[in-house]
């Protein structure tokens, strides 16, 4: 499956989260969530392709979308009252058990190298540990719908990392998509700032 297609599918998470969680948000925030999805579509436009995707791949992508969405909602509703250490221990323990089962069933082959070690550290420390801490703390302070919009920023952040670290190119549509995503995310997080700006404009 092409990464752009997967990005588009996962990009619908904010809308799916809103529909399932039924969070009460303002109309301005709803427009912001829609903007995040539109920005993701613009960001992925040039590289979007069905490519080698089949029904099985798309089904797995949809399962991933459902898993991330439901996991975030359950984390907010059921787990934020637990201590951070307990929360992380349960998450990493469950994930480790699942990975071990998959390895026993399908086998796992790797080549020990610098790239492999760096990838493991990146996934284990930054993605699985630090990002989980930030997500748990964010969910304890805000609505699940608001927090879900931050996931829309992942492709944009990845593009910047690739540009500065791997010298990859960023096309015009990617820049436009990044701009739309960031502005829309700001609207969702800070809707009062727009209302305040309108009030000032009317007063003037």
> Each residue of 133-167: pLDDT tens digit?
777 777 777 777 777 787 788 777 777 777 777 77
Q: Report the alpha-carbon angle 124-10-107, nearest 5.
A: 45
Query: Residues 156, 178: contact at Cβ < 8 Å?
Result: yes
In percent, how much of the chain has pLDDT > 70? 88
Query: Residues 33, 184: contact at Cβ < 8 Å?
Result: yes
CA distance readout (Å), 23 to 73, 77, 91, 145, 197:
10, 12, 25, 7, 25
pLDDT in tens, 45-68: 776 655 566 788 888 888 888 888
Report pLDDT for 51: 59
């Amino acid at each position: 499956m092409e990464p752009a297609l997967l990005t588009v599918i996962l990009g619908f998470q904010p809308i799916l989260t809103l529909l399932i969680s039924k969070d009460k948000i303002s109309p301005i925030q709803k427009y912001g969530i829609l903007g995040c999805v539109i920005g993701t579509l613009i960001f992925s436009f040039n590289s979007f392709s069905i490519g080698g995707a089949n029904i099985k791949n798309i089904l797995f992508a949809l399962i991933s979308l459902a898993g991330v969405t439901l996991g975030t909602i359950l984390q907010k509703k059921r787990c934020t009252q637990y201590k951070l250490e307990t929360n992380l221990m349960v998450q990493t323990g469950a994930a480790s058990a699942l990975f071990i089962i998959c390895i026993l069933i399908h086998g796992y082959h790797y080549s020990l190298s610098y790239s492999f070690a760096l990838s493991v550290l990146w996934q284990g420390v930054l993605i699985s540990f630090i990002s989980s801490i930030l997500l748990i703390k964010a969910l304890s302070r805000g609505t699940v719908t608001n927090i879900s919009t931050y996931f829309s920023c992942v492709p944009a952040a990845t593009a910047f990392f690739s540009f500065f670290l791997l010298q990859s190119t960023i096309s015009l549509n990617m820049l436009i998509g990044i701009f739309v995503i960031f502005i829309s995310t700001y609207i969702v997080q800070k809707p009062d700032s727009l209302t305040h700006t309108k009030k000032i404009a009317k007063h003037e």
